Structure 1
């Protein structure tokens, strides 16, 4: 079986984990298969001088972009880089020289993938025109504003649109890399690699970048108290009315507060927290779906299944199959 050449683009200020994470995934495949299969990973830059990364660590390229001219590439992987100003505004960095090389190399690659803000480089190279794509949530608005022909979705962990893959923020490079392995060699080998890494097999591409706790940032002490109350009582018979009564509010007042400060309804927020509780139990225990539904506040397995389809896009059983941490 022919080994697949993966080229990872290097440039000054690149996020270190974006560069080092994928090769770890690809190299572990070698433990699970014979020598004739797998990947050859090459780090390429404009020159072979050490490249300073965002973490201050310098990475030495294996080759230059120019030396790759004429070689058939299986996968071109483009990491990202961002700048943060004094107001803590995050902006994706796009080097025009890198963009030109990426455009050239992509033309000789079977598929192209980006990690984090690397999607901005693919976009500048015209590789995402008319496609659906994701990137780190902090730069998604920039990507959408600068490239209106791209259908930007800031929620998923990764998106595949034809032969172009885009990944979300930083650690999702592991999820994206596992998805590439699964696409090339099947779910069984990808699962074995994931266990070597001690991570989930993969978070599904449609899984949100945020858990319920991180997605909604409480702007006031009162709202934070409400969030904590939900976290503490979600597994019980918590309703909008009982919550409103606890905070000496009407149902309508409580709903207005949630809508104004969290951008969602109390009922939707309660459900999202219950889904998070159920996810943890599905991944870490062998409890029945009925038991998990009761323990997470859903009451019945059918109610839990409907909530999972709405928020996760798969059933609780399918979630357990994909993400179980148990052997």
Structure 2
């Protein structure tokens, strides 16, 4: 049975996304959907949108094999609730597969489940999460991570990607693929894909480094070194690097690579330009270097993404 842990102020889609994935997957896999929402206090639980879900209490649920913890605006209060933390710890001791969506990682971290483990959460939470839980090996660029029996994911859509990965483990790739198709998803993203939504925010005019990144995006074929970026920002290299990481949660070189990957992906999927030409115009220079970057980001090389795009997969 899939248990989805919610609390007052939870994000509705953090719960509903994985619920829908498992419901469809179980039907495709020939099983009756067995999914329950649970909370400290049984009954209606109001989400941050005002929509309520009916939840069961935290009494022992011996049939739960996977526990998914939602995130949302009420997560700080939920992460201080001893009943919630005790329940999550008890599930972990039983060997239950435990996952978090978005800021639900705070509950897992507060329960001590993420100490020494790799994890991720929404990019907006990076700075606070790192300061609050220094023992967690946070990977802020990841869509989702898995470290043993503990899974964590970034934002709402990443929770769906995480659930699909669990479905692939439980029912096989074919069921996961059929589930993604029924949900009308373009494809199931690998956990290693970067949280490109952060770049949309960084490129916004209101962001401190927004104009710099907007400029960099238009000059990807140039050698965008940390020194060059610092000079354009009018800052010393050391101060620039520190300020950039503090504000964005990413190093300048990593941000540039993500910009290059984003633009290169668009050209690979939606243009007929040769792979070598794409690598050159986006600053990768070497097609092999771009191939390695694509595998890190998408779990597959540029040629595979192009074939999938042309096939409409």
Coarse TM-score class (shorter-chain normalised): 0.7 to 0.9
- The corresponding residue for 1:8 is 4
> Which is greater in Rg?
1
Label 1:146 to 1:280 Cα distance change in 2 as closer, same or farther (>3 A).
Answer: same
Seen in structure 2, the aligned counterparts of structure 1 residues 74 and 281 have a Cα distance that, compared at 3 Å, is: farther
Does 2:77 align with 1:77? no
Matched, 1:65 2:50: no
Q: Partners in 2 of 1:77 and 1:251 — Cα distance?
A: 41
Render the CA deviation track for 1:22-77: whole Å, top value 9, x for unaligned: 1111122245x352x3641111223432111111111112x3221xx252321011
What is aligned with 1:136? 122
Q: RMSD across aligned C-alpha pairs, in angstroms?
A: 3.8
Deviation at 1:164, TM superposition (A): 0.9
For residue 25 of structure 1, what is the aligned residue in structure 2? 21
Instruction: Give a deviation string over 1:4-31, Cα, whole Å, max 9, x none.
Output: x101112211111111111111122245
For residues 124 and 266 of structure 1, what CA distance do their matches in structure 2 show?
Answer: 30
1:177 Cα deviation after fit = 0.7
Superposition pairs for residues 1-327 of structure 1, below 5 Å?
5-30=1-26, 33-35=28-30, 37=31, 39-61=33-55, 63-66=56-59, 69=60, 71-82=62-73, 93-94=78-79, 95-210=81-196, 213-214=199-200, 216=202, 224-232=210-218, 234=220, 238=222, 253-254=231-232, 260=240, 262=244, 271-284=257-270, 289-290=275-276, 292-293=278-279, 296=282, 298=284, 301-308=287-294, 312=297, 314=299, 316-317=301-302, 320=305, 324=309, 326-327=312-313
Q: Is contact 2:144-2:154 (8 Å) kept?
A: yes
Cα distance in structure 1, aligned partners of 2:179 and 2:187: 8
| 8 Å Cα contact 2:230-2:236 kept in structure 1 | no
Aligned position for 1:87: none
Length-normalised TM-score, structure 2: 0.78
The separation in 2 between residues aligned to 1:127 and 1:112, in whole angstroms, is: 9
Looking at structure 2, the residues matched to 267 and 103 of structure 1 have their Cα atoms a distance apart, in angstroms, of: 38
Cα deviation digits, residues 237-275 of structure 1 (max 9, x gap)? 54569xx9xxxxx89833765952756898876554332
Partner of 1:247: none
- In 2, Cα distance between the equivalents of 1:104 and 1:287? 54
- What SS does the corresponding residue of 1:51 show, helix, strand or coil? strand
Contact 1:71 1:108 in 2 (8 A): no
- Listed one character per residue, the Cα deviations across residues 154-206 of structure 1 (whole Å, up to 9, x for unaligned) are 22111101011111123311111111111212223212211222224332212
Higher helix share: 2
Structure 1: where are the runs of 5+ without partners? 84-89, 245-249
